[in-house]
């Protein structure tokens, strides 16, 4: 599968302008079967003004992108502020190659002040796009093993993280991106934004990681850049390192403090 990874600076744009730019990128990279954009690509990382850039899942901004997807026959994952019935969410729209909205994933792990603005998602997604079973993640989600593992156990064969990762966390995210791929034996597309907004500098680092945890493609720097990548298959070449097949039953944990030891052992 060919994927278009769009490392961009959406800061300062209106959601409508950002949607038109995303649509243009999809049409220009029509040979891709999947296009991936950063977290909050429609309007930028504006926690103080998130309500002003919020979009409805059935609104004109996503419709603009969906039309380009249908024209190019390309699926897309695009980050946006979702206006939900109970508040705002940091979400990713999953649009299929027919231009249909297949799913909306809501970020489950909120970072810092995000928790004051957004409501966390309460479920994970595995959605079929471009012939793959894709698990979308958003930025801080990738720093925890559990979401990616749960999605992989549910049948995901590709992880996709849409991020707005900033200084000083570039090294951590590269490590997490590789670890989530390796420990689940699932390829991973990681797309991060660049530029500055709300006093933060976003660090790029967009990359594609194979099921062995090896970075196969990476952005050249921290500027705007579009990368076309070939995405490999899931699974380990050696069954002895196919970690999902060894997923154990949850084990009890014995906590042995000095006071516990005085009471003896079982």
Selection from 194, 204, 196, 200 nearest residue 170 by Cα? 204
Q: What percent of the chain has pLDDT over 90?
A: 91
| 258 belongs to the catalytic site | no
- Is residue 167 part of the annotated active site? The answer reads no
pLDDT (0 to 100) of residue 248: 74
Q: Which of 8, 33, 39, 197 is catalytic?
A: 39
Contact assessment for residue 129 and residue 136, using Cβ atoms and an 8 Å cutoff: no
Q: pLDDT per residue over 211-232, tens digit each?
A: 999 999 999 999 999 999 999 9
pLDDT score recorded for residue 224: 97
Quote the distance between the C-alpha of residue 211 and its chain's center.
16
Name the percent of the chain in helix, strand, coil, to the closest 5: 30, 30, 40
Give the rounded percent of residues in the chain with a pLDDT score beyond 70. 97
Mean pLDDT, the chain, whole residue set: 95
The angle subtended at Cα 14 by Cα 88 and Cα 110, nearest 5°, is 30
List all residues 6 or more positions away from 185 whose beta carbon is below 8 Å from its beta carbon: 152, 211, 212, 234, 235, 236, 241, 242, 243, 244
Please tell me which residue in 94, 107, 143, 197 is annotated as part of the active site: 107
**Facing residues of 103 across strands?**
94
Q: Which residues contact 261 (CB under 8 A, 6 or more apart)?
A: none
Alpha carbon distance 168, 219 (integer Å): 18
Phi, psi (deg, nearest 5) at residue 147: -60, -45
Helix axes 170-184, 145-153, angle to 10 degrees: 30
Summarised one tens digit per residue, pLDDT across range 131-159 is 999 999 999 999 999 999 999 999 999 99
HEC readout, 165-201 = CECCCHHHHHHHHHHHHHHHCCCEEEEECEEEECCEE
Which CATH class name applies to 2-246? Answer: alpha beta
pLDDT at 266: 46
b/e per residue, 10-33, with b = 16+ CB within 10 A? Answer: bbebebbebbbbbbebbeebeebb
For 228-255, the pLDDT digits (tens) are 999 999 999 899 999 999 887 788 899 9
CA distance 55 to 212: 37
Bond preceding residue 56 cis, omega within 30 of 0 = no
Q: Which of 139, 162, 197, 207 is catalytic?
A: 139
94 a catalytic residue: no
Q: What angle, rounded to 10 degrees, do the helices at 60-72 and 15-28 form?
A: 0
């Amino acid at each position: 599968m060919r994927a278009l990874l769009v490392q961009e600076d959406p800061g300062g744009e209106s959601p409508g302008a950002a949607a038109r730019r995303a649509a243009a990128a999809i049409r220009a990279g029509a040979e891709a079967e999947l296009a991936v954009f950063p977290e909050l690509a429609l309007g930028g990382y504006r926690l103080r003004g998130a309500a002003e850039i919020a979009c409805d899942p059935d609104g004109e901004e996503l419709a603009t992108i969906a039309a380009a997807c249908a024209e190019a026959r390309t699926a897309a994952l695009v980050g946006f502020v979702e206006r939900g019935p109970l508040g705002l969410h940091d979400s990713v729209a999953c649009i299929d190659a027919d231009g249909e909205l297949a799913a909306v994933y809501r970020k489950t792990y909120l970072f810092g002040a995000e928790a004051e603005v957004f409501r966390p998602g309460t479920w994970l997604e595995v959605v079929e796009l471009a012939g793959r079973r894709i698990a979308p993640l958003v930025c801080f989600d990738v720093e925890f093993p559990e979401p990616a593992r749960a999605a992989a156990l549910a049948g995901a064969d590709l992880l996709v993280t849409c991020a707005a990762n900033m200084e000083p966390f570039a090294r951590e995210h590269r490590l997490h991106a590789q670890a989530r791929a390796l420990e689940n034996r699932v390829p991973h597309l990681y797309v991060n934004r660049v530029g500055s907004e709300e006093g933060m500098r976003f660090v790029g680092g967009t990359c594609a990681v194979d099921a062995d945890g090896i970075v196969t493609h990476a952005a050249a720097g921290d500027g705007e850049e579009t990368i076309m990548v070939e995405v490999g298959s899931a699974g380990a070449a050696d069954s002895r390192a196919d970690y999902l097949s060894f997923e154990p039953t949850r084990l009890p944990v014995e906590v042995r403090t000095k006071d516990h030891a005085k009471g003896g052992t079982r």
